[in-house]
Amino acid sequence: MTETTTRPSAGLRALDRLVGTWAVTGGVEGTVRYEWMPGGFFLLQHVELTQSGQPVTGLEVIGNLRPFGEPVGADVVSRFYDSTGNTLDYTYELVGDTLTIWGGAKGSPAFYRGTFDADGTSVVGEWTYPGGGGYRSAMTRV
């Protein structure tokens, strides 16, 4: 086995900064909680938000893909499952203090880009959607 199959990738381990509970404000309001699945190969996000007056409850599983018989994928990807039956795919990247989450594949025109403050207790950024949509969002560690 190669190193990338026996321990979580550096890109995934970088997301350890998200572990904990966060209050979310801006275009959505509520709480998200990140925790490691045992083994550290997947980061779980528990979501309890309100967007446009509608509740959004769900679970996101974040990690590197490792399909049967194939090598570990290079990108940190996720699938979000919500209480209304939606499944949404994302790609995560944390470089320095800048967190980017693309809706779908890396480089997608739908993305979030936010910056951690110096002590890691808040992340402020903006979701950008094709055609000029989007909203500002902030997460503050609870």
**Domain boundaries along the sequence of the chain:** 10-65+72-141
State pTM to two decimals: 0.93
Cβ pair 39, 100 in contact under 8 A: no
Q: 85 vs 25, 63, 66, 115, 121, CA distance in Å?
A: 24, 21, 24, 30, 32
Which pLDDT score, from 0 to 100, does residue 136 have? 97
Gap between the Cα atoms of 11 and 81, Å rounded:
22
DSSP 30-91: EEEEEEEPTTSSEEEEEEEEEETTEEEEEEEEEEE---TTSPPPSSEEEEEEETTS-EEEEE
Convert the pLDDT of each residue in 90-115 to its tens digit: 999 999 999 999 999 999 999 999 99
* Confidence bin at 132 (pLDDT 50/70/90): confident
Mean pLDDT of the residues in the chain: 95
In which element (H, E) is residue 13 found?
Answer: helix 10-13
Q: Is domain 10-65+72-141 in CATH 1.10.1270.20, yes or no? A: no
Amino acid occupying residue 86: N
pLDDT top residue among 63 and 2:
63
Count of all residues that appear for the chain in the document: 142
Which pLDDT score, from 0 to 100, does residue 5 have? 54
* Confidence bin at 6 (pLDDT 50/70/90): confident
Q: Is 10 left (phi over 0), alpha (psi -120 to 50) or beta?
A: alpha
Convert the pLDDT of each residue in 28-58 to its tens digit: 999 999 999 999 999 999 999 999 999 999 9
| CA proximity to 60, closest of 83, 38, 39 | 83
Would the pLDDT of 3 be above 60?
no
